[in-house]
Amino acid sequence: MGGNMRITMVATISLFLLLPAVVTLSAPAALGQVISPQDAMTTAIEMNFYAINLAKLAQTKTTNPDVKAFADSMVKSHTRELAHLRKEAGAPDSEVLISMRHQEIADRLAKLSGPEFDREYAKQSVADYQDTVNFLEIRSKETNSAFAKAAGDLKSRAVEDLLEAENLRQALATGTRVPMKGNVYSDRGTAPAPPSSPSPPAAPPSANGGGPIP
């Protein structure tokens, strides 16, 4: 064989490398679909692993301090939620691979960089947490389900995550900093209060020049 053969190896970074191959999951069940408590538990575990690994991806790609703070908060938050599932709801210690749909999202974001990555990560986080809130809302109302109480506990935390993600998305869309109230991302800080309502317009002056009405 003439000449030297040049072999080029291309390494592809995938979130699959971040999770042990213990249990392979299919895409989470559609909202409203009846699934067993154990399936619901597995889906909740998968959602948490996905959020952790997407946040870890953001930690390595962003240079924006607000995005970094949000990602750091999400890693800590979802690590606590996994511990809660295992302690309070009896979830197994086995780790899981993220679903095909979530892997595709991670692969898409991994190709982005800079402000484009930041905006898409924040936007995707809003969509993901809305899905999570909807999923947990449905599961928390199921009767005779061992997962119902855990779903209710997780839902309140997911709502906080959704508010934080929306704060970040809006800040990035407008080119401003995330409104801070102390450290908005530490100890699950609350979202800033909505703007106060404008004051009502002043009453027009009376016919006698603004003095007391006779």
Residue 46 in domain: yes
Higher pLDDT, 195 or 22: 195
Residue 76's pLDDT is what? Answer: 94
Of 127 and 192, the one with more pLDDT = 127
Residues 6+ apart with CB under 8 A from 213: 206
Q: What is the pLDDT of residue 200?
A: 52
Q: Is residue 202 part of a domain?
A: no
Residue 114 within a domain: yes
Looking at residues 124-129, what average pLDDT do you find? 97
Contact (Cβ atoms closer than 8 angstroms) between residue 91 and residue 45: yes
The answer to whether the CB of 21 falls within 8 A of the CB of 97 is yes
Bridge partner residues of 96 (DSSP)? 23
Amino acid at 49: F
- 135, 43 Cβ separation under 8 angstroms: yes
* 19 within domain boundaries: no
- 115 close to 104: Cβ distance less than 8 angstroms: no
Residue 79's Cβ-count burial label (10 Å; 0-12, 13-18, 19+) is: middle
Reported as a single tens digit per residue, the pLDDT across 47-69 is 999 999 999 999 999 999 999 99
Domain membership of residue 82 (yes or no) is: yes
Domain of 45 in residue numbering reads as: 35-174
pLDDT digit string (tens) for 3-58? Answer: 444 333 333 333 433 433 333 333 344 433 334 446 888 888 899 999 999 999 99
Work out the number of other CB atoms within 10 angstroms of the CB of residue 192: 13
Q: Average model confidence (pLDDT) for the chain?
A: 73
pTM of this prediction exceeds 0.75: no
pLDDT confidence of residue 160: 93
Tokens 């009896």 locate to 90
Which positions ≥6 away from 106 have C-beta within 8 Å?
14, 15, 50, 53, 54, 57, 98
Residue 17 is assigned to a structural domain of this protein: no
For residue 10, tell me if it sits in a domain: no
Yes or no: say if 165 and 158 are a contact pair by the CB < 8 Å rule.
no
The pLDDT tens digits for 61-101 are 999 999 999 999 999 999 988 887 877 656 566 667 778 99
What is the structure's pLDDT at 24? Answer: 34
Total domains, the chain: 1
pLDDT top residue among 59 and 175: 59
Nearest to 162, CA basis, from 191, 203, 200, 186: 191
Token output for 206: 């009376």
Q: Could you tell me which residue, 197 or 39, shows the higher pLDDT?
A: 39
- What is the end-to-end Cα distance of the chain in Å, rounded? 111
Instruction: Indicate if the pLDDT at residue 130 is higher than 80.
Output: yes
Q: Which one, of 158, 185, 167, lies nearest residue 51 by Cα?
A: 158
Q: What is the CATH number of the domain that holds 53?
A: 1.20.1260.10
Assign 211 a pLDDT band (cuts: 50, 70, 90): very low
- Please give the Cα distance from 19 to 49 (Å, whole number): 8
For residue 48, count CB atoms less than 10 angstroms from its CB and return exposed for 0-12, middle for 13-18, buried for 19 or more. Answer: buried
Q: Specify if 9 maps to a domain.
A: no
